[in-house]
Structure 1
Amino acid sequence: MRTLDSLIWSAAPVDGADMVVVCEDPTGDLLSAALETGKQVVFVDPDYRRAQAALAAGASIAGDTRLDEFLAGSSGTVVAIGEMPKSLARLDYLARSIAGAGFSEVTMALGANNKHLSRSMNTVMGESFVDVAASLGRGKFRCLVASGPKEVAYEPVRGEGLVAVGGVFSGAKPDFGGELLRSALPGSLGRFLDMGCGNGSVSRFLKGDVTCTDSDADAVLSTRAIGLECTWDDAGSRLIPASFDTIALNPPFHDGTTVDATLVQHLLDASRRLLAPGGSLYLVHNSHLRYRGEVERRFARVEQVARDARYTVLRAS
C-alpha cells in the first residue's frame, strides 16, 4: 500500500463502522483493505473500469446511479475513504450525498499531497459536516477528516441547457473545444455517436439517432439529465461494432494534473471499431498536442476541417 493510501486508512475509524464507502481509489488498495474487514463495502469511484473490478472483487457499486439516490435511506455507521477529488464539485457531491443519506454516524477521510489541498476543500466539506480537521501529516501527504453530518441534500448545477452532476468536465457549461467540434459536424449525421461525451454539450440540441457514451459515471448522469441516451462503459465497449455513421470525439488529455497525449489512443481504436463503412470521425484536440499522427496510424484519410486559436478539428475516414 502506498504512503497516501496507508495514511487515509489510518485516519478513518473503520473498525467501528457498519459500512465502508470507497470514494476515489486509483490503486485499488483501499478497496482491498476494506473488503478484508468483512464489512459491507460500497465502491463509488466514477471510473468504469475500476468500478467493474470492484464489483468482481465483491463490493457493491453505485455505478451509473446518482450517489445520493443510491444511498438514500441508509442507516447505521459509515466511514467514507479515498483520495481527495481534484474537483470541488465532485467533493461537494460526495460530501452531500453521504452526509445526507441518513446514517447515524459518518466519518469521511480524504487524502492528497499537501500541495493539492486547499482551504476551499475544508469549506466545501464544512457545508455538509459539523467538524472538519486536517490529520497529522505523513511525508508530503495529509488527510481532511470530516464528521458530524448535517441535514443536507445534493442538487446538480444547471445552466445553458446543461446539467452538471458531480465532477463532470466543464460543469454545466459547454467547453470551447467541444463547441468548435460541434460547429464542424456535417448537416447529415446518420447514426451519431458522441464518444467520451462529458456533459453532453456536443450532442445537445442534435436531432435524429444520437447515442452518447462515457467511462465516467458523473458524465453519464449529466448527459442523461438533459434527455440524451448514454451508456456507461469503457470506450463504447457495450456498443455494436460498425454501427455509427458519424462519431464525435473530444478526448481527455489530462491524467490527474499531468498532460498525457496517449489517453486518446484507446478512444481512437474504439472509434475505428464502431464506425460503419464510409463513416467519419470528427476529433477535436488542443492544437499543441500531436494527435494527428495517432489518427493517421488508424485511418486512411485525415484532414483538418476547423481550427481556432487553441483547438483543431480533424475529420478521419
Structure 2
Amino acid sequence: MSEMPNSHQALLRIHHSLKGRLALLGVRSSSLLEKLPSGGMAMSEHAGHAGEMANFANWQVCFGYDDPDLKPANFDTVVVFLPKARAELDLRLALARWLSAAGATVILLGEKKEGIAGAVKQLKAIAPEATKIDSARHCQVWSAMGIEPLISFDLAEWMVWHRIECAGVSVNVAGLPGIFSQGELDGGTAILLETLAHTPLRSDHVLDFACGAGVIGAWLQSWQRERGEGQSAVDGVDVQSQAVICARATYERAGATGKITASDGLARIEGVWPAIVTNPPFHSGVKTDTSMTENFLRDVSRHLKSRGELRLVANSFLPYESLIKRFIGPVERLYEDRRFTVYRAIRR
C-alpha cells in the first residue's frame, strides 16, 4: 500500500466537511480510501494507483478521464488533488464541474512546493468566491461552493496534435494535458530515434516501455515504410491514462500497428519480445535512486528473448551501464554526449 501524501493527510483533517456523495480526483494512495470507509468514487490517471484501490468496499474506482463509469451531475462534494502539471489542473477542474450535482462543493488541495498558490488562481477563474478553509502538512485546502456545473465533458476536445521530425521522417503526435513532453520531441527520445535510423533494430516485434504518446512506435514504422522495409509491430506500455489514450490516437493516425497497454511497470505484462526500446522515466531532479531501474531491468530480462536487444536512452550521469550489464548482458554505447547516452545490450 502506497505511502499517503501530505495532501491526502490534509484532506483527512477536514473529513467532516465532505458532505453527501463524494468524488476524489487524482488519488495517489489507497491508504486514503481506508480512512474514508463511507465510500464514494475515486479516480486516478495512474494505473498502479488505480489498481491498488480496486478492492476497497464502498468505493467505485475509475482509471483516467475517459473511464465510462464517470457519470455527470452525480456528486455533492468533489475533491481535486493538485496534479504535477499545471495544464492538467484545468482538465481536472473541468471534470470536477461535470461530475458536480447542483449546489455541489469543489475542494482543491495541494502542497506549496507543488504550486498550490498558482493553482488557486485557476480555481478562482471559475469560482471567484473560493476560500481557504485549512492549512496543514505544508498544504492549503480551498473550497468553492455552488460552482457552476459543466453540461458536457469530452476528452477529445482537450486533445491537440503536433508534428515531430527526426532523421527526415515526421509523424503527427497526439497530446493531452499532463502528458510527458507534450508539444515537442523530448531530447532523449530524439537521440534514441537517431540511433534507430543509424543502427536499425533487426526485429519484427518490439516493446516500447514508457511509450508516452506513442512517438517511438509511430516514427519507427513510418521510417521503415518510407524505406520500403517490413514494418515492426511496436507494442506500447505506459502507466498514465492520458499517455495510453494519446498513443492509441497517434498509432491510428500514423497507420502504426501494436497493442497499447496501461501498466505500472512490466511485472503484470505477459509475453516476451525480441527487442525492447525505452526512454525510462526513472530520474527526477538531481537525486539518483537506482532501485526502480534495477527492478525495471530485472523485469526486462524476463520479457526479452534470448539474444534479444534492449535499446535504452538515459541521462549520461546515471550509472546505467553496470546495471544493464548485470541484469541483461553485454552492453555498448551507441551514442554519448554530456546529456544523454544510448545503450544497446544483448540478453544473455
TM range (shorter): 0.7 to 0.9
Alignment of 1:201-216 (within 5 A): 201-207=215-221, 208-216=232-240
The letter for the 2-side match of 1:215 is V
Q: Provide the residue aligned with 1:272 in structure 2.
A: 301
Contact persistence 1:22–1:30 (CA under 8 A): no
Alignment partners' CA distance in 1, 2:249 and 2:125: 25
1:291 aligns with 2:294: no
Quickly say closer, same or farther: Cα 1:189–1:145, change in 2 above 3 A: farther
Alignment partners' CA distance in 2, 1:138 and 1:102: 26
Quickly say closer, same or farther: Cα 1:12–1:178, change in 2 above 3 A: farther
Q: Provide the residue aligned with 2:254 in structure 1.
A: none
Contact persistence 2:175–2:213 (CA under 8 A): yes
Alignment of 1:114-133 (within 5 A): 114-133=112-131
Structure 1 residue 315 displacement after superposition: 0.4
Contact persistence 2:27–2:44 (CA under 8 A): yes
Alignment partners' CA distance in 2, 1:145 and 1:195: 39
Alignment partners' CA distance in 2, 1:215 and 1:272: 20
> TM-score, length-normalised on structure 1?
0.85
Q: Provide the residue aligned with 2:34 in structure 1.
A: 32
The letter for the 1-side match of 2:307 is G
Q: Provide the residue aligned with 1:138 in structure 2.
A: 136
Quickly say closer, same or farther: Cα 1:115–1:195, change in 2 above 3 A: closer
Alignment partners' CA distance in 2, 1:180 and 1:5: 39
Alignment partners' CA distance in 2, 1:255 and 1:111: 23
1:54 aligns with 2:83: no
Contact persistence 1:99–1:128 (CA under 8 A): no
Q: Provide the residue aligned with 1:190 in structure 2.
A: 204
Contact persistence 1:8–1:110 (CA under 8 A): no
Structure 1 residue 309 displacement after superposition: 3.5
SS state of the match for residue 293, structure 1? Answer: helix
SS state of the match for residue 110, structure 2? Answer: strand
Spell out, residue by residue over 1:78-133, the C-alpha distance to the aligned partner (whole angstroms, 9 max, x if none).
Answer: 32253x22211222221111212453244333433323325431233345545433
Q: Provide the residue aligned with 2:263 in structure 1.
A: 233
Alignment partners' CA distance in 2, 1:269 and 1:62: 30
Alignment partners' CA distance in 2, 1:284 and 1:142: 38
Alignment partners' CA distance in 2, 1:272 and 1:119: 44
Quickly say closer, same or farther: Cα 1:146–1:63, change in 2 above 3 A: same
Structure 1 residue 135 displacement after superposition: 3.4
Alignment partners' CA distance in 2, 1:132 and 1:256: 33
The letter for the 2-side match of 1:143 is V
Quickly say closer, same or farther: Cα 1:97–1:181, change in 2 above 3 A: same
Structure 1 residue 187 displacement after superposition: 5.0
Comparing 274-283 with 232-241, greater Cα deviation is found at 232-241
Comparing 3-12 with 84-93, greater Cα deviation is found at 3-12
Comparing 44-53 with 129-138, greater Cα deviation is found at 129-138
SS state of the match for residue 77, structure 1? Answer: strand
Alignment partners' CA distance in 1, 2:124 and 2:205: 46
Comparing 119-128 with 278-287, greater Cα deviation is found at 119-128
Contact persistence 1:25–1:45 (CA under 8 A): yes
Flag structure 2 segments of 5+ consecutive residues without an equivalent.
Answer: 164-171, 222-231, 252-257
State the percentage of identical aligned residues. Answer: 22
Structure 1 residue 211 displacement after superposition: 0.5
Contact persistence 1:25–1:31 (CA under 8 A): no
The letter for the 2-side match of 1:247 is I
Structure 1 residue 230 displacement after superposition: 0.8
Structure 1 residue 238 displacement after superposition: 4.5
Alignment partners' CA distance in 1, 2:202 and 2:236: 17
Structure 1 residue 231 displacement after superposition: 0.4
Contact persistence 2:73–2:149 (CA under 8 A): no
CA RMSD of aligned residues (A): 2.8
Contact persistence 1:111–1:144 (CA under 8 A): yes
Flag structure 1 segments of 5+ consecutive residues without an equivalent.
Answer: none
The letter for the 2-side match of 1:16 is K
Quickly say closer, same or farther: Cα 1:143–1:15, change in 2 above 3 A: closer
Alignment partners' CA distance in 1, 2:8 and 2:209: 32
Q: Provide the residue aligned with 2:343 in structure 1.
A: 314
Alignment partners' CA distance in 2, 1:120 and 1:11: 22
